Amino acid sequence: MGDVSARKIGDDEDYPPKNSHQNQNKVIPQLRLEELDFSPACDIKSREAISAIHRAKSQLCKQQIVNKTCLIQNGNFYPKHLPNYCVSKTMAYGRHLGCYLDEKKLRLLSSYYGNYANVNSPTFCLDICVQAGFPYAGVQYSSECFCGELAPPSSSKTSDGLCDMNCPGDPSQKCGGYFTMNVYETGLEKFVPQVPKNSNSDQVSVKIVFLLTLNGRALRQVHRLINSLYRTNHYFYIHVDQRQDYLHRKLSLLEKQFTNIKLANKRYSTIWGGASLLKMLLDSMKDLIRLGWKWDYVINLSESDFPIKSLEELEKFLSGNKGYNFVKSHGREVQRFIKKQGLDKTFIECETHMWRVGERKLPQGIVIDGGSDWLALSPDFVSYVIENHDKLLAGLDVIFKHTLLPAESFFHTALRNSQFCNTYVDNNLHVTNWKRKLGCKCQYKHVVDWCGCSPNDFRTEDWPRIQNTQNRQLFFARKFEPIINQEIITRVEQFVGFTDHNLIPNLEAYWQNLYDVQDLTASTDDTLLTHAESVIRHNAKILAGEGCKIQLQEVIEVNVYKFADVYKGNLILYKALLNDNKEAVLETWYKPRQHLDLNFGNQNNDYIKIFKVSSDYDQKEMTFRNVGNILGPFSEPVLLYQFSPHFNKNIGNFTILWLDPAGMIADVNVVMRDENNLTNFIKLNVKQPLLPGVWKVGLFDQVNSVAVTEFLITPLEYFSGKEVTQQEANLIHSGSQNAYKNITFVKPKNFLPTHANRLLLAEISNANIKRINSDLTEWIDSLSIEFYNVLGTCILYNDNNVLDKVPCSNYKFQQCNFSEWSSLSHDPKGSIGKIDKTTGRLKRV
């Protein structure tokens, strides 16, 4: 099965299928012209386009959708036919081979079958078979279309008179008969991908460009990837997503250190499935040609990829197979692939969203292919794609600018229909950790009008899958994320020949940045900044108790800290003035407290394994990305629960209640026990802003509590990076109680406050709304201290010769570079090594 990302089209359909009776009677909605500040160039007919225009936020995006839709409606936007430069010298499109007798159990053409009661004809069937890359097409029983790879045997040929049924799509032509088939050539040869050699004993040198397309904040993992692949004779071309200022700023330093590392100047917001991803790849390849680097292969990788064989093995393999192009095909029926992938739909990208705007017909004459967007391409093919402007590429350019997941099909299709078709290898050198039940949750609906899939991260338990690649022509695996599981990456390094692990300090530690003051978006991260400053104020009070008075200044960074794949807390790096007014940089380690209360009087409490609230829940990895549970009024809280597989199946459903800080029930959910789905999540369905303070979530069987957890919605000290005003505080901190559902039918025991307590809580909540300045920070700190524990603080000291602790009155600071937990401690595996002039490698220690 190919590495294909679009799936489950049925889950995504907003409208009934075309042939449904209900749809035939539906009136197409009218475009709300009053919402537009421009006049559309045409009357929009497509229901999907109208929906997209209504949902788009900006007038610019609405106009782009309108303009493109009008061009498409005119009928001349997409090419109707494209040339195929990989045609046979002996076969001819549409050549009639005659009428043949067919058998039900042994079909003449067995590769594809379709029944087209209204449109079938020789031309229609030929186009389907060409699209799928088959040499032969056959029509039978009027409406049936068959495709095949092998010519029908001459012994089956019969009189043309037995193929006597008219075609529904063209009554002037015959479409076979009862078990008789009119067979035609498509003009294509049988396609057989090239089989690469295993190795080359007479090895010649090979130069590789590693095209890194990066997103996120996993800087240390990117460094680890570069360390594993770096040699002085290879190149790195790095594109960092336009929205990732932190990663781009940090990696820009490498350009100054290494002549063979280059960062892309033009950056794109490469959303999942977006047309911008293909644009980015093509622009990057264009830049490679402009740079004048001499190379033999370009291999695209992300921060989630990692080599599973030594670089020497990859070099040896590629040097023996120069000129081939490595892509992975979908390995399924082409018509089904087209439907699943949405290739027969038009998509328009704007507002970092892929809007589906209607159906389209793919051009005749070419083979459609696709699969994975991870590739290894030759310079000749890349030069052809970038520099040639023939009719095929010009047409593909129009099509794939308006295609979902275009990089998963563009290069495959260009290869299959160009003079490079005989360089096609059905292997992209990758193994991908697909777990469809977890990875296909339609989790990209917020960025694309489609259902998508994504592979899972490799974890330690997936190790056998990596081991099984040893004797296969696979050199990379994905996905790896050290924030999820770092042990598997360390194992892979050993697997491919790394021998320095015994020398590396902090081998099991991992740090990942959450906040950096230099980021362009830093000033708008109000919840995180409010939270971080509250934690360090609490730490300042602890230090003051030791006589060490510090004056807090600026938060520099916030990092997540994990050890041995266990979350150990967050780290806040900040500037402060010590007793003697000397400026110092401190780092404070803290961790969320547990807030789970199990009712031990209820026998069902034994069945509760997880009952926790945070945000940014990753369905695919079944974990919270917001590991510190840092929530504000504009967060989207999610409850994650997990039941034991041994729960009593005779017990009825559970009820979940969400109680706000004023003692009001904000939401209620019913949980059905499903032994096949023991881990699940529920989103709080309440309008923002959420009322700040301590929220409670209770799990009940009938009226008795089983488990209760609390979570904090922190009030905001900042709004858009500035201290909140009285007016802003009134809006942000007043909650949305007026929008709550009227929930009076639930009467749980020992959970709801009494009437008197509820009045008191409401009074306190109303008073809190008015708090600003020091009164506000006092409120924030009183809440934060109940939910977070400070574990330690270290100081950044630049004199490495001073090994003693640094005193501050009675308190003595550990130096950060000697504190194993600190983000400033030595981390060779997550840092770029130094060039070993003998080997050309990067030496980590």
pLDDT at 840 over 80: yes
pLDDT of residue 650: 66
Phi-psi region of 220 (alpha: psi -120 to 50; beta: other; left: phi over 0): alpha
For the segment 10-39, the average pLDDT, to the nearest whole number, is: 64
**Is the pTM here over 0.85, yes or no?**
yes
pLDDT at 824 over 80: yes
Question: What does the DSSP 8-state code read for residue 754?
Answer: P
Select the more confidently predicted residue: 809 or 129: 129
Could you read off the pLDDT of 231-245 as tens digits, one per residue?
A: 999 999 999 999 999
| Tokens describing residue 603 | 């026998």
Question: What does the DSSP 8-state code read for residue 329?
Answer: B
CA distance 710 to 706: 14
| Tokens describing residue 89 | 């010298």
pLDDT at 535 over 80: yes
Mean pLDDT, the chain, rounded, equals 92
The lowest-confidence range among 8-17, 198-207, 493-502, 809-818 is 8-17
pLDDT at 255 over 50: yes
pLDDT at 841 over 50: yes
Distance of CA 121 to the CA centre of its chain: 42
CATH, range 596-717+725-769: 2.60.40.1930
CA distance 374 to 307: 13
Could you read off the pLDDT of 293-303 as tens digits, one per residue?
A: 999 999 999 99
Decide if 238 contacts 263 (C-beta within 8 A).
yes
pLDDT at 220 over 70: yes
| Tokens describing residue 595 | 């807030």
pLDDT of residue 749: 79
For the segment 131-135, the average pLDDT, to the nearest whole number, is: 97
pLDDT of residue 2: 47
pLDDT of residue 201: 60
Could you read off the pLDDT of 721-740 as tens digits, one per residue?
A: 999 999 999 999 999 999 89
Could you read off the pLDDT of 403-459 as tens digits, one per residue?
A: 999 999 999 999 999 999 999 999 999 999 998 888 787 777 888 999 888 999 999
pLDDT of residue 20: 44
Could you read off the pLDDT of 343-364 as tens digits, one per residue?
A: 999 999 999 999 999 999 999 9
pLDDT at 648 over 80: no
Could you read off the pLDDT of 357-391 as tens digits, one per residue?
A: 999 999 999 999 999 999 999 999 999 999 998 99
Select the more confidently predicted residue: 19 or 627: 627
Burial of 175 (C-beta count, 10 Å sphere; 0-12/13-18/19+) = buried
Q: What percent of the chain has pLDDT over 90?
A: 83
pLDDT at 838 over 70: yes
Distance of CA 145 to the CA centre of its chain: 38
pLDDT at 332 over 90: no
CA separation, residue 827 to residues 213, 558, 564, 571, 573 (Å): 24, 17, 14, 16, 17
Amino acid of residue 121: S
| Tokens describing residue 534 | 């509250």
Place of tokens 């644009």: 279
pLDDT at 181 over 50: yes
CA distance 258 to 260: 5
| In the chain, where the domains are located | 96-185, 208-494, 509-592+788-818, 596-717+725-769
The lowest-confidence range among 60-64, 120-124, 617-621, 805-809 is 805-809
Q: Say yes or no: do domains 208-494 and 596-717+725-769 share a fold.
A: no
pLDDT of residue 807: 87
Question: What does the DSSP 8-state code read for residue 71?
Answer: H
| Tokens describing residue 810 | 């009675």
Topology at the third CATH level for domain 208-494:
Spore Coat Polysaccharide Biosynthesis Protein SpsA; Chain A (3.90.550)
pLDDT band for 25, please (50, 70, 90 cuts): low
